[in-house]
Amino acid sequence: MFKFNRLPKRQLFIFIFLIFAGLWFFVSLPGDVRIIDNNQAQLELLTNWSQGNVVALIRHTDRCDRSDDPCLEAGKKEGITVNGKKKAQTIAQGIEKLLALNDIDIYNSPVKRTVQTANVIFKGKSIKQDWLRTDCKHNFLNKIINHKHHGKNMILVTHATCMADMEQAGSRIIKNKIKNNQSYGIAYFFIINKKDQTAKMIGYINPEDWPLLSIIQKSVLIPASRKPALKRQKSQ
């Protein structure tokens, strides 16, 4: 067994210093930006959304098989809870107020909980994609970039296990830990550069952030997608 008292004092001091320096480094690593707390991230999201550069990952809401709450569909433990539906409705209202959903690709995993979440948020406009369940745990970011069309935003309703692959990838594009019981309904937003095959994180929005974000957006920001319409009205 290694004994610290066998080290000379100078080496012991250096050894302890390196341990604390390493701990400080990992603790002080910057986390993901919570968009509601960052005006620059809000502006970046709206500007790039208007240009069709954004991919959003939305995790399904509260799963029934890990909750004591009633299931949305009786006996369907693989689906979401009644509370999960309410959370999805909050997300739907926020997206409708903040983001334009015309000319957009919306996909969801075929699993019951993601299907239910997508149906509540997007009212049948989302399309099932098997790769969002069976082929998302390795190189998920590359698959996202490959499915993204140039100049067209894309929303994916998916799972924590898929998002976790982006935590573990070399770039660690998602820095926060996706916690199974604390991140239901979280939405991550990325800027995708198809030419360079790269992605940049904008930040994330929690379900409870959407109503407040809509208020802030109205009072502080003018979405770039609305600016041309305002200009045309003035010229008429």
Closest by CA position to 36, among listed 155, 177, 189, 204: 204
DSSP line for 68-97? SSPBSSTT-TTSBBHHHHHHHHHHHHHHHH
Q: Where are the alpha helices (DSSP H) in 57-207?
A: 82-98, 112-122, 131-134, 140-147, 160-168
Q: CB neighbours of 30 closer than 8 A, spacing ≥ 6?
A: 175
- Distance, in Å, from the CA atom of 82 to the CA atom of 156, rounded to the nearest integer, reads 22
Record the pTM.
0.77
Among 3.40.50.1240, 3.30.870.10, 3.40.440.10, 3.40.350.10, name the CATH number for the domain at 35-221. Answer: 3.40.50.1240
Containing 65, the helix (H) or strand (E) segment is: none
CA distance 191 to 171: 15
What are the pLDDT tens digits along the chain (236 aa)? 445 455 565 555 554 544 444 433 333 334 688 999 998 999 999 999 999 999 999 999 999 998 999 999 988 899 999 999 999 999 999 999 889 888 899 999 999 999 999 999 999 999 999 999 988 888 898 899 999 999 999 999 999 988 888 776 555 677 766 666 678 999 999 999 888 888 899 999 999 999 988 666 554 444 444 443 333 334 33
Determine the Cα–Cα distance for residues 66 and 114; give it in Å rounded to an integer. Answer: 15
DSSP state of 194: T
